[in-house]
Amino acid sequence: MIAKCRAIAHGKTALEYIFRETKLKDKLLFHNLCGDTAGGIHEEMSLINGFNSRCRNKFLRIEIGIAPKDEPVMSRMKLRNLVWEFIQAMGLKEHQAVAVTHKDTDNLHIHIIANRMDMNGAVYDTTFVSNRAVRVAEELSRRYGLTVAKELTAEKRYRRRGTSRTREAVKERLCSIAYGLLEKHMRNGMNGYASFRYELNRQGVSIEQMKNKNGRTYGLKFHFEGQIFKASEVGREFGYHSLLKQFGLSFLSPHAEKSAVPVYNPKQPTQSIVEEHALAETIVSMTEGIASFAGGLPDFRVHGADYAETAFQHRIRNEAKRKKKRWRRM
């Protein structure tokens, strides 16, 4: 379990966010409040904090994250009790507060919006409030037998090196397969997209579609050799909307056309051009060194070099010499 807290000024926006239908799962707690909507709660809180004109950040935003392995044991009642104990431990018992859970991500998390002014108009001290929230979350985690974020971080830090290396090796193989098949099929439209998915599956890569409440796909996950990778880990071309764009299927998704990810362009030709330029520059630098040693420029040519680049280097060098002579005259 982990928590963070900060004072904010945009209370109305924060309340509208936590009550959004596509995200809202359960309404856990309404403390010192009569309304149960974003607008009604904001009006009630504004009646209290409106008397303090000097305070700018009049709301507190708190987020509590529950570890995935602790989710099965956390019932709605248990979550409600946890939130209430958290509010008491933070010293917000006399404040207005609302708590809800969200379902828009894989991990269970709780949002709390509280009035920074208590029922008597006193302002809540937010000095090191984020550290205070972390400490309270750690204490409650031990009391409820939940995973402590600090211990989990330490466990990840001192995990066997072979584990991360294994994942990186699997990721490299997955990227190699995915980009190879993308380059092979990206110009074939709908048939290419179908062939891309089919050949991925044949090579042991399964794709999971992430869907929202309305059943619309918004993302992809890649399963390969016992590891799970988000599309962004494989490459920016493999997000749900950007992948459709690669195959010229932007019309299937209204967001695909707005994707900022460009169409994939294989790097082999670019690399060869860069290598040719690098070779030309190396030859020019070697020529300059020999010329300075021998007192003149030897008359030889290397086949395959970029003659335009060589001529440009000579012109730049001659201009530099003329500038030096000009300064000597002055």
Three-class SS of 40-56: HHHHHHHHHHCCCCCCC
Q: Look up tokens 């404040």; give the residue.
A: 95
- Res 221: pLDDT: 92
- Res 129: pLDDT: 93
Residue 209, classed as helix, strand or coil, is strand
- Res 99: pLDDT: 96
**What distance in Å separates the CA atoms of residue 141 and residue 143, rounded to the nearest whole number?**
5
- Reported as a single tens digit per residue, the pLDDT across 116-168 is 999 999 999 999 999 999 999 999 999 998 988 765 555 555 554 445 788 88
Q: Within the chain, which residue ranges are assigned CATH 3.30.930.30?
A: 2-147
- Res 154: pLDDT: 52
User: pLDDT below 70 — which residues of the chain?
Assistant: 150-163, 252-314, 316, 320, 322-330
- Res 150: pLDDT: 62
| Secondary-structure class of domain 2-147 per CATH | alpha beta
Q: Can you state the percent helix, strand and coil of the chain, rounding each to 5?
A: 55, 20, 30
- Reported as a single tens digit per residue, the pLDDT across 47-61 is 999 888 889 999 999
Tokens of 29: 């707690």
**What distance in Å separates the CA atoms of residue 107 and residue 135, rounded to the nearest whole number?**
21
